[in-house]
Amino acid sequence: MTSLRHRLRDFIDIFSPRYCAVCGCRLNTTEQILCAGCRMRLPYMRIDDFYDNPISRLFWAKIPVEKAASFIHYKHDSDSHLLLMQLKYNHRPDIGRSMGEVMAQDLQRRGFFQDIDAIVPIPLHWKRFWKRGYNQSMQLAMGINKVTRIPILGKAVRRVRNNESQTSKSFQERMENVDDLFEAKPITPYRHILIVDDVLTTSATMLACAKALLDKNPGISMSILTLAKA
């Protein structure tokens, strides 16, 4: 940040102070979303091999996944839980954009985005979108786009059913519950898609979205990126 922008930020912070999304302490001029301490303490996954890791293995033999990564571990009653809750339920789309940027800066240094030519954020059902006012996965995609310039295909997939909460269901029930959850369009000329979501829990939603895309676009390659992994 230039010194002029620093001074402007200082000035704005006096009248409209910003607070850490996790611990609530006041942020200084150079901090975004999280204070330095909370940012350091986040439970980073630090995935080295993008082709063979606990995320990519969830999709083996189900869909043709090239690369897969999640940025942080999601644990209940932890800093990562607080961060995700703020992103989804406290009207903080800025957390999505900022974390998308942070995640993309780290992964770009390590070649994660090579060969990927478009980003597809997992869509919300329109009713949920209307209630929340934004799609947190789209916000993450916008942060990634800011760093990588990879285009976002925001209308490639539509969520046609508003599935109830997945948390109290068995894996089988979850898989059945996401059947026909999405409808996709042809995405020519794009050949390698990065599907982006906020949290990966059972992989059922991600799989349903990937299958919908494959159904309309046979032969495309897919990679997967989520902010957190439960």
Q: Which residues bind Zn ion (CB under 5 A)?
A: 20, 22-23, 35, 38
In the complex with Zn ion, the residue whose CB is nearer, 87 or 184, is 87
Short-list 186, 182, 228, 195, CA closest to 66: 195
Task: State the minimum distance, in angstroms, from the CB of residue 23 to Zn ion.
Answer: 3
In the complex with Zn ion, the residue whose CB is nearer, 13 or 183, is 13
> Are 185 and 155 contacting, i.e. CB atoms less than 8 angstroms apart?
yes
In the complex with Zn ion, the residue whose CB is nearer, 90 or 162, is 90
In the complex with Zn ion, the residue whose CB is nearer, 41 or 169, is 41
In the complex with Zn ion, the residue whose CB is nearer, 81 or 128, is 81
Helical ranges in the chain per DSSP H? 3-15, 36-41, 54-57, 79-89, 93-109, 126-132, 136-148, 171-177, 204-216
- Residue 157, strand partner residues: 184
Phi-psi region of 91 (alpha: psi -120 to 50; beta: other; left: phi over 0): left
Phi-psi region of 215 (alpha: psi -120 to 50; beta: other; left: phi over 0): alpha
Residue position matching structure tokens 């607070």: 19
